[in-house]
Structure 1
Amino acid sequence: MKLRQKVGYVGLTLAAVGLSLNTLAADPVTPKLTDRLSQLLQQEMRSIQSAMASIHVSMVTGEHERVETKAQQIHDSFIMKQALTEQDKKDLMSAVPEGFVKLDKDFHRLAAGLAEAAKDKDTQKQYELYNEMTGSCIACHSRYVSDRFDGLAEQ
């Protein structure tokens, strides 16, 4: 498939995600989080943001090892794998809907796939997975953090 067709496909996919967000919008989870969980999630999001930026540059310059390292870091940052107390886990599960947890798990699964694609030096697969991860970020932020990202709340 030609790059132009692939870019068009990604655009259509993101448009479909955007169109579905209106009907899937949920109440923001931020106000329901404990201070500790809010801090942990913000820390994880800053780490992911930095890694995603690094992955983009590394992917387009063919630095497969760096893509692999950063994608693996994203996978490993999964909040459910962090050192949460039993109370933290209970608080998290009562604050976020099942859809939030599913999106988060899927996002980190995509990151593991991206690390594997980078290990295989498969730039095309890296591109596809990176775009899926970006779509996942938009979907989650639009549905569950629209109070922080009002530009996405208008989707």
Structure 2
Amino acid sequence: MKHKLFAAILISLAVATVALAAEPVTPKLTDKLSRLLQQEMRSIQAAMGTIHTAMVTGEHEAVARNAQQIHDSFILKQSMTEQDRKDLMAAVPNGFIKLDKEFHKLAAELAEAGKMKNTEKQSQLYSEMSRACIACHGEYVSDRFPGLNSTL
């Protein structure tokens, strides 16, 4: 009996955690933060496309340059006031910030792999970056991307 009760509690907690984790952050953002995030995402999307083409054509310098631009693309950070920072921290959970930092770290590693002309490592890191995009969009922007109903 204790095991069934314990299992039921665990299942309830898991369901509650999933429900909480899946809550989109978009409605919680100020208009300015929403615009800045969208601007940064468009910039990253363009760079990711360029990186893919450069990877498959052996243009290592272009991989390195564009990956470094992603790493350095903290449009939010560069354009935010102190109040914007407070608003962002109030709107997004720690997991969002963690995913963002990991993504930019991967971009720096990809830039290094481009400089080293290591195509295999570039491919691996590009895949990891793509998975990070999917995970973040599925978890925190599911209202904009309903087709990403689960994270990787």
TM-score (normalised: structure 1): 0.82
Root mean square deviation, CA, Å: 1.6
Q: Which has the larger radius of gyration?
A: 2
| Counterpart check, 1:104 vs 2:100 | yes
Question: What does residue 44 of structure 1 align with?
Answer: 40
Q: Which has the higher contact order (CA 8 A, sep 6+)?
A: 1
Aligned length: 134
Residues in 1 aligned to 2:112 and 2:136: alpha-carbon distance in whole angstroms: 24
The structural deviation recorded for 1:65 is 0.5
1:1-20 superposed matches below 5 A: none
The structural deviation recorded for 1:153 is 2.0
| Counterpart check, 1:145 vs 2:141 | yes
Question: What does residue 75 of structure 1 align with?
Answer: 71
| Counterpart check, 1:128 vs 2:124 | yes
Question: What does residue 31 of structure 1 align with?
Answer: 27
Q: Does the 8 Å contact 2:40/2:76 carry over to 1?
A: no
Residues in 1 aligned to 2:138 and 2:93: alpha-carbon distance in whole angstroms: 14
| Counterpart check, 1:115 vs 2:111 | yes
Q: Does the 8 Å contact 2:67/2:111 carry over to 1?
A: yes
The structural deviation recorded for 1:79 is 4.5
The structural deviation recorded for 1:83 is 2.7
TM-score (normalised: structure 2): 0.84
Unaligned runs of 5+ in 1: 1-21
**Partner SS state of residue 47, structure 1:** helix
Q: Does the 8 Å contact 2:71/2:105 carry over to 1?
A: yes
Unaligned runs of 5+ in 2: 1-16
